[in-house]
Structure formats: structure tokens, C-alpha cells
Structure 1
Amino acid sequence: MEHQLKLTKPLAFFDLETTGIQVQKDRIVEISIAKANIDGSVDIKTRRVNPGIPIPLEASLVHGIYDEDVKDEPNFKQIAKSMAQFLEGCDLAGFNSNRFDVPMLVEEFLRSDVDFDTKNRRLVDAQRIFHMMEPRNLTAAYKFYCQKDLIGAHGAEADVLATLEVLNAQVKHYENTSMKDAEGNEYFPIQNDVAVLHQLSASNSIDFANRMVYNKDQVAVFNFGKYIGRPIADVLKTDPSYYDWMMKGDFPMDTKRKLTEIKLKGFQR
């Protein structure tokens, strides 16, 4: 493989597969680096890693790597020095890398007592460029789905009528488009059915501020602070003062209302 990028030093494109998305507690299970060299050549290195903790099933269903696949692989500390050497003198690039991959990689190097500084490295994130050049807003959606320029954008009536047109066009465009789920079964995600569209639009958030969410078992848990990931009903039993702190705190009324509902009955989805 070759590239046409004009470089003054190697640019290392990299991607991580991990046990999750929390930099402070999750670990790398696979790292792949494509080092674009100044002469146009590309060196590729891919390595699976034993994270030292169980890989959650929901993560394995995304990247296809299970505990059994990495049980005989080295841990990150064992490969950290060789990885740092491979990346020596390189700038770094990726897709959403500045928000996730770079912080995760730096954290793993720090845990391994390897000095990996990004101060003198240029960081290039292709996702940021994509989002800047291909905006994901109503004007862009109207142009893409309806092939028309949105006149009077950000006026309430123009925006609401454009949104109606966009959703109508999306349903027409995707209604017969199939996808495959994690088990390889074919399904049609977009249907001319508001109940189906509601499910697609729904998130795991309980409150609009995303302070409370449903976990993979559909249990209500805190999504911030010292009790992040802990079942809300359990926390309110063991530390009832936390409820009072939140009710007196600078949280939205919607969050306080939802918290009170959980306090009164505790619930799963």
C-alpha cells in the first residue's frame, strides 16, 4: 500500500479495540497501526493484547474479540516499549482519535511506565475533518434527502417544515434497505411506523441531561460522579444523603423528577 500525503515525518494511523470506552478503567484488546512514511510507503503492525480483565459481551459483539481470543496474548506492558519505538518520531492520526484513541493509548503507556508524550506530535483526526466538511445539521440533511436548499434556515417555521420533509424522505429512501444484526440476521431498521422510528431514536438515557442511564441489563444507574455505573436504587439505600445533595444541587428539574421516581419505586426498564 502507498499514500500521497506530503509528510515531513511519519504519520501513524492507529485504531484501538477495547473493553469499553472509559479511559480510566477500560483496556486495549487490539491495536493496529499503519505508519505512513515520508517516501510514500506504509508499514502495518497489528497486535492483540490481553487486557487483564474480562471483555464485556457487549464489547465483544462489536469488535468480535472474546476472552478466549486473547488469553495467550501479552499484556500491554509487555509490548509497550516496542510499540513506543514503532511510534517514535511519528505524528498520530485516526478517526475520532483525539477524543478516544489517543487518550486511551496514552493512558495505557502511563500505566506501563513508558514515557509517551504527545506534546511534540501533531494529532490529525479524520472524523473532525469529515464533520467540518460534511455538516450533520438540518440544512445538510435537507440538501441530501430533499435535493433542495433550505431557505430561511433557523426560522422556526422553515426548520419545522424542512424536518417534516426530511423524515418523509428518509422513510422513502431507507424503507427497503436491510441491515444485519450482531448475529448476522437481516432486518429492516427503517419502517413507515412511528413506533419503530421512536425505538431507533431512543437512547439509554433516563433524564435529558444524561445524568442517569440504563445499563446493559436495563437497570437504572448513575452516569456521573463517585457512583458512576452504580444502580441508583442501591445508592439511595446505602447513601440516602446523596438524594438530598442532588435535589439541592444545580441539576435540571427533569433530572430531579426522574431521580424522585426511582427513589419512590426503584425501577428497571
Structure 2
Amino acid sequence: MQLNLKNPLVFFDLETTGIDIVKDRIIEISYVKVFPNGKEESKTMRINPGMPIPPASTAIHGITDDDVKDCPLFKNVAKQLAAQIEGCDLAGYNSNRFDIPLLAEEFLRAGVDIDLTRRKFIDVQTIFYKMEQRTLAAAYKFYCQKSLENAHTAAADTMATYEVLKAQLDRYPELKNDVAFLSEFSSFTNNVDFAGRMVYNDKNQEVFNFGKYKGRLVEEVLKQDPAYYSWMMNGDFPLNTKQKLTEIKLRGFNAK
């Protein structure tokens, strides 16, 4: 099934030094850019993370420090990558919880201004979990009747994710071939920040989604406990979370 697209849709996958959105870095990114007319463009690039790759991570994706020592830093390719995904919607496997938050962090660290919040995000894993409850390899076998060779390489995982989404649309008539629908369907929560530390409630108000103030309005907490803002800004939170928190705080000042 050809995807029904209004904007180009970029399927992408990251291989990283680990799973900490704040501390870990990208070492490989692969994407397949699908255009509304069905045309496809793909690219894979290795990135020097500027830090050692833990052996436990190498054991998963097979990429070593020596493999990336002569590769560019993310900041050197950030503008090029941003230009490739500008105006595109994004899709991946577990991308809403990991790949998109980490990619946003890398762009912020590189000082590249790209507003991902205006894009639609499709998380194929979420669709799969809501429908069948499996891993990517199992999803590929289940939907496409193929074995996933070279799993945990960005290129293989990216193409498998693209194929799985098309097969999901063929299999489930209740899934609309529409990016806006798939984006909403593949989201568990309506996040304010990519890491989901803050979410929108049923009144479209920002509330904290963790800690002692979970469920409380962010604006209300910042007024009643100003030190909480400083604690978060000095804490080990993603840059995107701090950015959104600051926007809410400044909005409160401007409203006075």
C-alpha cells in the first residue's frame, strides 16, 4: 500500500551510545524519505559521538570507537540533516519515546533551530503494541513474512519499520492511511516536551507527568514553588524539557 501523504514522511532510526536521552549520543542515523508521489530517498551516516561507546552498546549494534573515529561530529552535520527533514513528518519504531527526544537534544546541543513540534510523529511500535504486542523483529515476521536480517543496524531497522507500517495499513482497515490519524493513534500521551515530563491534560493545560507534582498544573507549581524551576533547570533533565519549562514560565511573566 502506498502511503497517503500530504508532506514527505521520514522514517528514521538511531544507533546510540546508550539509552539515556540526556547523556548519550548518536553514532549512526539512517532514514528513508518518502514523498507524497511515492518517491523514496534513503541515507545512512555514521557520527562521532565525542565519547567512548560502551561495550554493552557495541554488543547490540556492532559499532566500535574505531568505526566512528574519523566520522563527523553531530554538530558538523546538524544543519544538513535539519534541511533534509524540514517540512517533513517523522516515523520510527519506539521513536516517540526515544529517537525523537534524543534527536531533538542533539539539535539543541548543536545550536540548530528546528521546530519539530510542528510535525506529525508516527510511532510504528505503538501501533504494533496496541494491535499485537511484539518486538520489531517479530513485527517484521508477523506483518511482512520476512526475517529481519542485520537487526540493530540503523538501515535495516529503518527499512523494516517502513515496510511494517505499510503492512499494518493493509492488515487493519480501521487504520486510516492518513498521517494525522496515525500520529494521534501512535501516541500514548499528549506530550508538552518530547521526553514526556510534562503533558497536556483534557483541558489542554500543561501538567507535570512525574514526581511530587505529578498531575499539577505547571504554571500553578511555578508560582507556588519557584525553587522547583531552578531545581529542574539545574537538574539532569533534557534540554528540550528545560526549553519548554522556560517557555511556560516566561508566558506567566508576560501575562502579568
RMSD: 1.4
Instruction: Specify the alignment match of 1:164 in structure 2.
Output: none
Instruction: Specify the alignment match of 1:67 in structure 2.
Output: 65
* TM-score, normalization by structure 1: 0.49
User: Shift of the alpha carbon at 1:135?
Assistant: 4.3
- Secondary structure of the structure 2 residue equivalent to 1:8: coil
Structure 1: any 5+ residue segments left out of the alignment? 137-224, 226-269
- Secondary structure of the structure 2 residue equivalent to 1:119: helix
| Alignment partners' CA distance in 1, 2:27 and 2:42 | 17
| Alignment partners' CA distance in 1, 2:37 and 2:43 | 18
Matches within 5 A, 1:121-136: 121-135=119-133
| Alignment partners' CA distance in 2, 1:103 and 1:87 | 15
| Alignment partners' CA distance in 2, 1:126 and 1:65 | 25
| Alignment partners' CA distance in 1, 2:116 and 2:79 | 16
User: Shift of the alpha carbon at 1:120?
Assistant: 1.0
| Alignment partners' CA distance in 1, 2:120 and 2:37 | 19
Counterpart residue identity of residue 45, structure 1: K
Structure 2: any 5+ residue segments left out of the alignment? 135-210, 212-256
| Alignment partners' CA distance in 2, 1:99 and 1:43 | 25
Matched, 1:90 2:110: no
| Alignment partners' CA distance in 2, 1:24 and 1:132 | 28
User: Shift of the alpha carbon at 1:134?
Assistant: 1.1
| Alignment partners' CA distance in 1, 2:43 and 2:17 | 20
User: Shift of the alpha carbon at 1:45?
Assistant: 1.2
Matches within 5 A, 1:1-269: 4-135=2-133
Could you list the structure 1 runs, at least 4 aligned residues long, displaced by more than 2 angstroms after superposition.
none
| Alignment partners' CA distance in 1, 2:14 and 2:130 | 23
CA shift digits 1:107-165 (9 cap, x unpaired): 000000001222210000000000111147xxxxxxxxxxxxxxxxxxxxxxxxxxxxx
Identity of aligned residues (%): 58
What is the number of residues matched between the two proteins?
135
Counterpart residue identity of residue 81, structure 2: M
* TM-score, normalization by structure 2: 0.51
Larger-gyration structure (1/2): 1
| Alignment partners' CA distance in 1, 2:58 and 2:114 | 28
Counterpart residue identity of residue 53, structure 2: I
User: Shift of the alpha carbon at 1:36?
Assistant: 0.7
| Alignment partners' CA distance in 2, 1:94 and 1:17 | 13
